[in-house]
Structure 1
Amino acid sequence: MHSLSASPQLKQPTPKFPIPLKLVALGDSLVYGYGDPEGGGWVERLRRQWMYPDNAGHILYNLGVRGDTIKHVARRLESEFRYRGELRHQVPDRIILSVGVNDSARLGRLGGRCFTPFSDFQNQLAELLDRAVELCPVLFVGMVPVNEQAMPFLDAFYYNHADQHLYNEATRLACHERQIPFLDLFDIWQQRGSDWRDLQLGADGLHPNPQGYQSLLMDICNWQPMQALMQSGTAV
């Protein structure tokens, strides 16, 4: 009588080529890169950096739209996410969000109403973050401080540090509650002083110039959550 031997274990094949992560950067003009004719903004600069042969080769989609508020980003979140898959991975592995500065703008005059009333912003932000983390892991890149002396923007939008701080802090706390990594660029750039800060901004006082976007890229690349992502292997 023949003895029964154990069934052989099926070995998982080792992929011949690593599978890079797919990321989407979703937000406003800071994501789009407006004001940087040299490098196309921090997202484009990072995308090019990841294309070098000795890098991880992660794939990064720029989904920034000038003028977007929290409501606009929330409206297109899932459709943008669902249609940015590649090959074996049909949806992205990470979402990078960056939005909020346009919501803080005062309309028409210094004492005008904010584009998005603060309570509405808090509610819309909570909904956006809750929906985003259900899709995949999220990183949030905060807003940079404006040059108040250059306001108003387009003769209609009055950005100021007090309102920026309020909306930025609400975003920081909402991310903290959900364990979403948040890069507080507003605080980082303010701590470097007004002379340094204003050299990073274009003539409109709102958007970084090429030097500013390079500084922004360095801040993002030196951020621990992004460092961990850049040093990670492949998508699981």
Structure 2
Amino acid sequence: MHLRLPAFRYAAARAFRNAALTLICTISPLLAEPLTLVALGDSLTAGYGLPEGQGLVPQLEGWLKAKGAEVAVINAGVSGDTTAGGLSRLDWSLTPEVDALMVTLGGNDMLRGLPPETARANLAAILEAAKAKGLPVLLIGMQAPGNYGAEYKTAFDAIYPDLATAFGATLYPSFFQGLAGGSLDPAALRPFLQDDGIHPNAEGVARIVADLGPAVQAFLAAPRP
């Protein structure tokens, strides 16, 4: 018995060490800092016309956390902002703790009838700056209505898929695709919009988040080079 005791003690110590390492590996992800996602956008991001806690950013963060994602979503939305405005404040929005960027800009360029090439250039500069910082980007697409003409619509709508391909960004095709099953029929959209017919109400945001959330979740979980 005395000759076997040291071996028994060694085996017990080794088993304890292995169990401790397993426990550390299990809980270490829980102790990690949450990811920080900056949502750079306009009134659609800022939560225009909605009670506190019902805008895109708080609803999206709540959805992600309910799915187990450790993430803080920072509201960098400014009502009325164009792509030029978003670009002008990009540097101070991308603080050192930021891990990823979501861009929802272009709607005001389109509503004002600004040249699509200007919006394209500004969004390209945003993506280039994010790339220089090593930040992955989720680019949220926008589509122009037909009242500016077919040429304008074709040029504007192509901005987002073109830039996503050029810069290796992740594309979410259309901000409003979660509303009314993707229908653009004004009658189908009306129950989910505020009285201005442009901005989603709280239920509309919830529908948008239900569709957008899985895309954001997959984007954040994707391996980075």
Q: Do the two structures share a fold, i.e. TM-score over 0.5? A: yes
- Confirm whether residue 25 of structure 1 aligns to residue 39 of structure 2: yes
Between the aligned partners of 1:208 and 1:160, the Cα distance in structure 2 is 23
Offset of residue 197 of structure 1: 2.3
Asked whether the 8 Å contact 2:37–2:73 carries over to 1, the reply is yes
Asked whether the 8 Å contact 2:45–2:55 carries over to 1, the reply is yes
Offset of residue 230 of structure 1: 5.8
- Confirm whether residue 220 of structure 1 aligns to residue 219 of structure 2: no
Correspondent of 1:206 among 192, 198, 204: 198
Correspondent of 1:184 among 173, 188, 196: 173
Between the aligned partners of 1:49 and 1:124, the Cα distance in structure 2 is 30
Distance 1:172 1:198, change over 3 A: farther
Correspondent of 2:74 among 57, 61, 67: 61
TM-score w.r.t. structure 1 length? 0.69
Match of 2:164 in 1: 175
Tell me the number of residue pairs that the alignment of Structure 1 and Structure 2 aligns: 195
Question: 3-state DSSP class of the match of 1:222?
Answer: helix
Gaps of 5+ in 2: 1-20
One-letter code aligned to 2:106: G
Asked whether the 8 Å contact 1:25–1:60 carries over to 2, the reply is yes
Match of 2:140 in 1: 141
Distance 1:232 1:170, change over 3 A: closer
Between the aligned partners of 2:175 and 2:63, the Cα distance in structure 1 is 24
Match of 1:100 in 2: 106
* Cα RMSD after superposing both structures: 3.3
Moved more, 162-171 or 119-128: 162-171
Asked whether the 8 Å contact 1:36–1:213 carries over to 2, the reply is no
TM-score w.r.t. structure 2 length? 0.72
Compare the two structures and name the one with the higher helix fraction: 2
Gaps of 5+ in 1: 1-10, 83-89, 107-113, 149-158
One-letter code aligned to 1:143: M
Asked whether the 8 Å contact 1:38–1:210 carries over to 2, the reply is no
Pairing 1:29-178 to 2, within 5 Å after superposition: 29-37=43-51, 39-51=53-65, 55-82=68-95, 90-106=96-112, 114=113, 116-135=114-133, 136-143=135-142, 166-178=155-167
Which structure has more relative contact order (CA 8 Å, sep 6+)? It is 1
One-letter code aligned to 1:199: P
Between the aligned partners of 2:153 and 2:206, the Cα distance in structure 1 is 22
Distance 1:230 1:127, change over 3 A: closer
